Amino acid sequence: MTFELTILGSNSATPAYGRNQTSQVLNINEKLYLIDCGEGTQHQLLKYNIKSSRIKYIFISHLHGDHYLGLIGLISSMHLIGRKEELTLFGPPELKEIIDLHLRYSDTKLRYPLIFNAVQPFEEQVILENEDVSVRSFPLDHRIPCTGFRFDERPRLAKINIQAVKAHAVPTECLSLLKQGIDCVSDDGKVYKSSEFTYPPPSTRSYAFCSDTLDSGKYHDSIKGVSLLYHEATFLNDLLLRAAETYHTTALQAGIIAEKVLAKKLLIGHFSARYRNLEPMVDECRSVFQNSFLALEGTTYSID
């Protein structure tokens, strides 16, 4: 199953050096999940040849402009180019009011169903479950209410050990249960253990997105053991105080968090416009967490 992340923008606050503001698109089994939507996201989708019609879900972390000001343009363009399919949007409760105001004053009636789901900012919650993935939101620690999102691949089925099944003449009606890891009792009372007739399923993959946050520790449990952690790293660690004042994280802190939560891989982004050269940021991360990378626009990162 495809599970990969493409960065559309990873700058903070203002665009700079051709770097756009936060937006990224997660491809899970060929369905697209857009996460945050800074101004110009629809331009970035065009630039990287990603069809907006493939986006099924949009997640907005918070209402700072660099994370959502491209949303209304995107949903308007979807309407104008003839979208008919439902679009499901997750975001702060107040986002609905902002969208409705625009639709009212621009006299727009969307030609497709836009389903809005308010994300509660102060508690972790499961916000979406479908056949591919389960998505949780969790509170971050920012100047305004802000949530992270964690995408966990649904447990995959075990693979049948055909040789063993044949050798023990396991009834066909048991196979579905065994694949799900459930032991099966046949009509004549015989027990077939899943562990004896299957190979263990591949471990599930996960992705966590921490957009804007102070390193306060309160969300660390929510991102434990994640396969790929995207974490903001607005500043280098020499600006630790500035990071704290503005409710942001430094590159060094992001590395320490990745290490602490046992993430497999770290991707940093939300770079301050003061940095033209980003290499020192990833170097700082790697001093504590080797498997760190820069979130670079137009780059796709496979989640393993």
Over the Cα atoms of the chain, what is R_g? 22
Pairwise CA distance, residues 239 & 250, whole Å: 7
Provide the residue type at 35 as one letter. I
* Cβ–Cβ under 8 Å, residues 261 and 223: yes
**Stretch of 12-20, 26-34, 181-189, 222-230 contacting a second copy, by CB under 8 A:** 12-20
Residue 170: both structure tokens together: 């396991």
Does the protein bind a second copy through residue 97 (CB under 8 A)?
Answer: yes
Q: How far apart are CA 123 and CA 117, in angstroms?
A: 15
Place of tokens 């704290």: 244
Task: Note every long-range contact of 99-108, with CB atoms under 8 Å and residues 24 or more positions apart, other chains counting.
Answer: 99/71, 99/72, 99/75, 102/72, 102/76, 106/76, 108/76, 108/79
Q: Which of 66, 152, 212, 215 is catalytic?
A: 66
Which token pair is 210? 């921490």
Residues paired with 148 in a beta bridge: 138
Query: Toward a second copy, which CB reaches closer, 99 or 208?
Result: 99
Determine, following the binding rule CB under 8 A, whether residue 298 of this chain makes contact with a second copy: no
What type of residue is 246? T
Q: Is 66 a catalytic residue?
A: yes
Cβ atoms of 70 and 35 within 8 Å: the answer is no
Applying the rule CB under 8 A, the residues between 22 and 81 that interact with a second copy are 39-40, 42-43, 46, 63-66, 69-70, 72-73, 76-77, 80-81
Q: Which is nearer to a second copy, 37 or 178 (CB)?
A: 37
Among 49, 105, 188, 276, binds a second copy (CB under 8 A): 105
143 binds a second copy (CB under 8 A): yes
Regarding 14 and contact with a second copy (CB under 8 A), the answer is: yes
The residue (of 31 and 102) whose beta carbon lies closer to a second copy is 102
Binding mask 106-135 for a second copy (x = CB under 8 A): xx----------------------------
Please identify which residue in 51, 85, 86, 101 interacts with a second copy, judged by CB under 8 A: 101
Contact, 38 vs 80, CB < 8 A? no
Chain residues in the site for a second copy (CB under 8 A): 13-16, 20, 39-40, 42-43, 46, 63-66, 69-70, 72-73, 76-77, 80-81, 92, 94, 97-98, 101-102, 105-107, 143-144
By annotation, the residues acting in catalysis are 66
